Amino acid sequence: MSQILLHRVLPFSKRLMSATILPGESVVDATAGNGNDTFFLAELVGEDGKVFAFDIQQAALEATAGRLGELTSRVNLILDSHADVDRYVNQPIGGAMFNLGYLPYSDDKSIITKPKSTIQAIHKLLGMLKKGGIITISVYDGHDGGKEERDALLAYVKTLHQADVHVIRYELLNQRNNPPFLVALEKVRDFEEVVRVD
């Protein structure tokens, strides 16, 4: 079996994180969900690093804690909106991950990420991000409200200046079962507050 180069979205987003996050850094899982990305990030940052993991559902944080096991000591579990990330994180971050949409396997699929808070969170995280750092956003647009969030996100990223941030869209075109597509942002210049180009 030869190595696959054109990865599916979730493995590709993890490869981007692996290529940029260094041991000892602080990073953000903006949507802890069932804790898969939190666990992955906790391994990446190592025992001297810190993961700030946000979710608005207690059930998600409990699932994440269960997934983490011994790695719990590297993670701050935060029951609040990622839009308020700046209340909890006061240091530069090495990267951040989002999975938009609803909590997987949840009974209540009406609890979803929303355009306004998603964009607020991304905007704040871009300020905190190190130069060369990446924010990955896996976008699911098949659920109620998904298309509105997708369109708001795509409109937002187009306002970012190419000299500040590189924004890519990456997707598989011939996969079944409506996989997510990826939006990833790389900070290519140092700034504390990104200027939007309208």
Is position 87 an interface residue for a second copy (rule: CB under 8 A)?
Answer: no
Is position 198 an interface residue for a second copy (rule: CB under 8 A)?
Answer: no
Return the residue of 56, 160, 180, 194 that touches a second copy, per CB under 8 A.
160
Is position 22 an interface residue for a second copy (rule: CB under 8 A)?
Answer: no
Is position 134 an interface residue for a second copy (rule: CB under 8 A)?
Answer: yes
Is position 172 an interface residue for a second copy (rule: CB under 8 A)?
Answer: yes
Is position 83 an interface residue for a second copy (rule: CB under 8 A)?
Answer: no
C-alpha neighbours within 13 Å on the C-beta side of residue 71? 23
Return the residue of 48, 107, 162, 192 that touches a second copy, per CB under 8 A.
162
What number of residues does the chain have?
198
Is position 77 an interface residue for a second copy (rule: CB under 8 A)?
Answer: no
Is position 90 an interface residue for a second copy (rule: CB under 8 A)?
Answer: no
Is position 169 an interface residue for a second copy (rule: CB under 8 A)?
Answer: yes
Return the residue of 48, 69, 176, 193 that touches a second copy, per CB under 8 A.
176
Two tokens, residue 118: 């998603």
CB neighbourhood size of 161 (10 A): 13
β-strand pairing of 75-79 with 93-99: unpaired
Q: How many residues bind a second copy (CB under 8 A)?
A: 36
C-alpha to C-alpha distance for 149 and 155, rounded to whole angstroms? 10
Is position 173 an interface residue for a second copy (rule: CB under 8 A)?
Answer: yes
Is position 184 an interface residue for a second copy (rule: CB under 8 A)?
Answer: yes
Segment 68-72 long-range contacts (CB within 8 Å, at least 24 positions apart) = 68/35, 68/38, 68/39, 68/42, 71/39, 71/42, 71/43
Phi first, then psi: give them for residue 108, nearest 5 degrees: -110, 90
Is position 131 an interface residue for a second copy (rule: CB under 8 A)?
Answer: yes
CB 93 within 8 A of CB 136: no
Residues that bind a second copy (CB under 8 A): 2-6, 8, 16, 19-20, 131-132, 134, 154, 157-162, 165-176, 183-186, 188
